[in-house]
Chain A
Amino acid sequence: GAVVSQHPSRVICKSGTSVKIECRSLDFQATTMFWYRQFPKQSLMLMATSNEGSKATYEQGVEKDKFLINHASLTLSTLTVTSAHPEDSSFYICSAREGLGRDTQYFGPGTRLTVL
Chain B
Amino acid sequence: QKEVEQNSGPLSVPEGAIASLNCTYSDRGSQSFFWYRQYSGKSPELIMFIYSNGDKEDGRFTAQLNKASQYVSLLIRDSQPSDSATYLCAVNEGSGGSYIPTFGRGTSLIVHP
Contact A104 B44, beta carbon cutoff 8 Å: no
A78 within 8 A of B: no
B62 within 8 A of A: no
Interface size on B, residues (CB 8 A): 24
Contact A107 B51, beta carbon cutoff 8 Å: no
A93–B42 CA distance with the chains assembled, in angstroms = 9
| Residues of chain A contacted by B36 (CB below 8 angstroms) | 107
A82–B41 CA distance with the chains assembled, in angstroms = 24
Set B34, B41, B43, B97: member contacting A108, Cβ < 8 A: B43
Contact A102 to B99, CB < 8 A, known contacts A43-B106, A44-B88: yes
Interface residues of A in 26-64 (CB under 8 A from B): 34, 43-44, 46, 49
Please give me the residue from chain A that is nearest to B44 by CB atom.
A107
| Residues of chain B contacted by A106 (CB below 8 angstroms) | 46
Most interface-central of B44, B51, B88 (chain A CB within 10 A): B44
| Residues of chain A contacted by B90 (CB below 8 angstroms) | 105
User: A residues engaging B (CB < 8 A)?
Assistant: 1, 34, 43-44, 46, 49, 91, 93, 100-102, 104-110
